[in-house]
Amino acid sequence: MGRVWLFDIQGWITLLLGGLLALITLFTSYSHVRIPFLGNVALDQSIGVLLLLVLVPALVGDAQLATRCRLRAERDRARAADEAAQERDLADRERERAARQAQRQAECNLVQLRYQLEPSEPKAQRVWDVISLLEEYGGLA
């Protein structure tokens, strides 16, 4: 979402439409208003100009507040997407680590079974090599 100066695009559209509405109100002649159950009420046109002047800061404040809310929501969505990506990466690394550990465990089991089925000097040496490797790297981690 684009942001120019203080407002985003939607904020500028709000200001533009609110300004147009204020100008239409300002240049529309009125001298009285018909209120149901009360009848006609005479209006002084200078009061309308003052009310429109009071409207401008409220309109600007509303547009700025809405812009901040939209930008905060966009930031929150981006942060949530980043956190989800980090969690996926962490889960991928954990799966890879678990797969490597399972592969080492399977290799250790295979060496052990081969030695148990057919004890020989080369296979015994291989068992000792695996034991040394496990001692050096702290087990199967």
pLDDT (tens digit, 9 = 90+) per residue, 70-80?
889 999 999 99
Predicted TM-score of the model (pTM)? 0.52
**Domain residue limits at 54:** 3-137
DSSP 8-state symbol, 60:
H
Q: Could you give the CA distance from residue 86 to residue 63 in angstroms, rounded to a whole number?
A: 35
pLDDT tens sequence across 59-115: 888 888 888 888 899 999 999 999 999 999 999 999 999 998 888 888 888 888 887
DSSP code per residue over 92-115: HHHHHHHHHHHHHHHHHHHHHHHH
Number of domains in the chain: 1
Cα torsion through 51, 57, 60, 66, rounded to 10: -100
